[in-house]
Structure 1
Amino acid sequence: MKPQTLHCHTTFCDGADSPAAMAAAAFAAGCGAIGFSGHSPLPGQEAWAMDPARVADYRRAVMELKAEYAGRMEVYLGLEQDFYSPDTGPDWDYKIGSVHCLLMPDGTQLPLDESAATLASGVQRWFGGDWNALARDYYERMARVDTVTGGEIVGHFDLITKFNENMAQFDEGDPAYREAAFAALDELAGRGRIFEINTGAISRGYRTAPYPAAFLLRRLAEKGGRITFSSDTHSAGTVLYGYREAVQLARDCGFSSCWYLTARGFAEGPLPVV
C-alpha cells in the first residue's frame, strides 16, 4: 500500500508551506493520499491555531487541490480539532482529536508543547511539581478527546513527553504514570479510535522515537487497537519523515496492519511500503 499522511499543517496555521506545496511534495514522495489537518481556531492560542476568518479560505484551497489531483492522489479536507476549541461542525472528511493545552482553574491555559521550560514551570505552579498529577489531568482529557472533538484519529497520544527524551523531566516507567496513560488508551481503543504513530517531534529535533512510546503501542496491540501513520508535517520536506522506522516500530510492537482514509471512510490495510 502507498503511504498516506493525514496530519499536515500549512501556512493557514503554523506550517511553513502552502497547501499546494505540501500536496506537490506528498505526490512526489509517492503518497496515495494527503490529508490536511489545520489547527482548529482556539482563543488564546492564536500563534499556532487557525484564524477563524481564514477557515473558509482553507476549505477552498484544499477543495481546489482535491480537484487538481483527482485520479492521481487523494486529497482530504481535515482538521486537528483541539479539546478546548469551539465546535467546527461536521463538514470535514475527518478530524484528529488533540489536547495541546490544559485549562487551569483560573482560566489560564497551560501549553503542553510550547517549550520544556514553559511546561516545567506550569507543573511547578499548578501541580506542585508532581508530574504524575499533570499526567492524570492530561490523560483524563485524552480519554474523552474523541467524544469532545469528534476526532476519529487520536493525535500524538502522549504529547506531554515531547521534552522528556531520556526521561529529562519525569519517569515514564513510574506505575502511576503508566496507570493514567493505560486508562485513557484502553478507553479510546475500546471505542475503536485510531491512534497515529506520529513522527513530528522527531523531524523537529525533540525526540528520537514517535508518539506513542513503544510500551504504549504494545499495550494498544494487545487491546486490538488501530493505528495509522502520520508525520505531523509542518513543511514540504517532512511529509513522510521517519515512516520507515515508524513502520518497523509498529511491526516490533505487534501490528501487521493499519488504517487508511478512503472515499468511503477508514479501511484496514497492510502496513505501508516506504
Structure 2
Amino acid sequence: MKPQNLHTHTTFCDGKNTPAEMAAAAFVAGLGAIGFSGHSPLEGEEWCMAPADLPACRAAVETEREKYAGRMQVFLGLEQDFFSPPPEGAFDYLIGSVHGLRLDGRLFAVDESPEAFARLADRCGGAEGLLREYYRLLAETPARTGCDILGHFDLVTKFNEGNRFFDPESPRLRTLALEALEALASRDVIFEVNTGAISRGWRSAPYPAAFLLKEMRRRKARVCITGDSHAADALLTGFGQAKALLEDCGFSSCWYLTEQGFQEGPLPQIP
C-alpha cells in the first residue's frame, strides 16, 4: 500500500506551502493520497483558518482533486478543534484535536512552546493538573467534534523529551492517559500515529507513546499514520519510524481513506 497523509496544513492556516505546492510534493513523494486538514476557525487564534477563508480553501483543494484525478487521491478535511464552533459545509473527514485548555475564558495552547507549557502548568497547579484537564477534554473530543480521526493523543508530551516537565513513566500520569483511552475505546474513532513533532525537531518518536499503542492494539483500535505536516518537505518525515513503532506494538495493518470511506489495509510501503 502507498502511504497517505491526511493531516496537513497550508498557507490557509499555519502551514508554509500552498495546497498546490503540497499536492505536487505529495505526488513526487509517491503518496497514494493527501488530505488537507486546515485548523478550524477559532476566535482570536491566528494559527487557525479565518471563516472567510474557508470557501477559498475548499476551492483550492477541489482544484487539486481535479488535477490529480486518477493519479493520486486528494481529500478535503478539517482539523476541528475542541473549542471551535461546529464546521460549516461538508468535508471528507474530520480530525478532532485538543490544542489548548480554556481557563478564565482564555485559550492557552499546550503545544506553543516549552515556555508557554511551563506557564500553563503553573496555572494548573503543576504538570499533573495540566495533563488531567487535557485528557479530560480529549476523552470528550469525538462527541464534541464528530471526528473520524483523533489527533495527536498525547500532544502534551511534545516538549517533554528528557522528562523536562514530568515523568511519563509515573503510574499516576499514565493512569490519566489510560483513563482517556478507556473512554475513547468505545467510540468509532481512528487514532492517528502522528509524526509532526519529529519534523519540527521537538521529538524523536511519534505520538502516541508505545504503552498507549499497545493498549490500543489490545483493544483492537483502528490507527492511521499521519504527518501533521506544515511544509511540503515534511510529508513523509518520520513515517518509517511510525511504521516500525506500530509493528513493535503488534500492528500489521492500519486504516486508509478511500472514495468509499475508511478501509483497512496493510501497513504502507514507505518510499
TM-score between both structures, scaled by the size of structure 1: 0.97
- Distance in 2 (alpha carbons) for counterparts of 1:8 and 1:189: 25
1:213-257 Cα offsets, whole Å, 9 max, x none, are: 111111111111111001111111011111111101100011111
Aligned position for 2:124: 127
Indicate conservation of the 8 Å contact 1:186/1:223, yes or no.
no
Letter in 1 for 2:108: L
Answer yes or no: is 1:40 the counterpart of 2:37.
Answer: no
Indicate conservation of the 8 Å contact 2:15/2:230, yes or no.
yes
- Distance in 1 (alpha carbons) for counterparts of 2:118 and 2:150: 24
Find the residue that maps to 2:94 and give its secondary structure. strand
Answer yes or no: is 1:252 the counterpart of 2:252.
Answer: no
Aligned position for 2:195: 199
Answer yes or no: is 1:228 the counterpart of 2:216.
Answer: no
Indicate conservation of the 8 Å contact 2:195/2:238, yes or no.
yes
1:4-31 Cα offsets, whole Å, 9 max, x none, are: 0000000000000000000011111111
Identity of aligned residues (%): 55
Indicate conservation of the 8 Å contact 1:189/1:225, yes or no.
yes
- Distance in 1 (alpha carbons) for counterparts of 2:110 and 2:93: 24
Aligned position for 1:86: 85
1:22-73 Cα offsets, whole Å, 9 max, x none, are: 0011111111100000000101212x10011100000000011111111000
Task: Tell me: CA distance 1:206–1:258, structure 2 relative to 1, closer, same or farther (3 Å).
Answer: same
- Distance in 1 (alpha carbons) for counterparts of 2:161 and 2:77: 30
Letter in 1 for 2:40: S
Of 147, 155, 164, the residue aligned with 2:151 is 155
Aligned position for 1:137: 133
How do residues 70-81 of structure 1 correspond to structure 2 at under 5 angstroms? 70-81=69-80
| Structure 1 portions without partners, runs of 5+ | none
Of 113, 116, 120, the residue aligned with 1:115 is 113
How far is the alpha carbon of 1:170 from its aligned partner?
Answer: 0.3
Letter in 2 for 1:45: E
Indicate conservation of the 8 Å contact 2:42/2:85, yes or no.
yes
How far is the alpha carbon of 1:90 from its aligned partner?
Answer: 5.4
Find the residue that maps to 2:185 and give its secondary structure. helix
Task: Tell me: CA distance 1:139–1:121, structure 2 relative to 1, closer, same or farther (3 Å).
Answer: same
Moved over 3 A (4+): none
Find the residue that maps to 1:37 and give its secondary structure. strand
Aligned position for 1:18: 18
Answer yes or no: is 1:28 the counterpart of 2:25.
Answer: no
How far is the alpha carbon of 1:134 from its aligned partner?
Answer: 1.2
TM-score between both structures, scaled by the size of structure 2: 0.98
RMSD: 0.9
Q: How many residues align?
A: 270
- Distance in 1 (alpha carbons) for counterparts of 2:187 and 2:141: 12
- Distance in 1 (alpha carbons) for counterparts of 2:185 and 2:222: 7
How far is the alpha carbon of 1:190 from its aligned partner?
Answer: 2.0
Letter in 1 for 2:153: F
Task: Tell me: CA distance 1:175–1:90, structure 2 relative to 1, closer, same or farther (3 Å).
Answer: farther
Indicate conservation of the 8 Å contact 1:189/1:226, yes or no.
no
Of 203, 206, 213, the residue aligned with 2:209 is 213
How far is the alpha carbon of 1:266 from its aligned partner?
Answer: 0.5
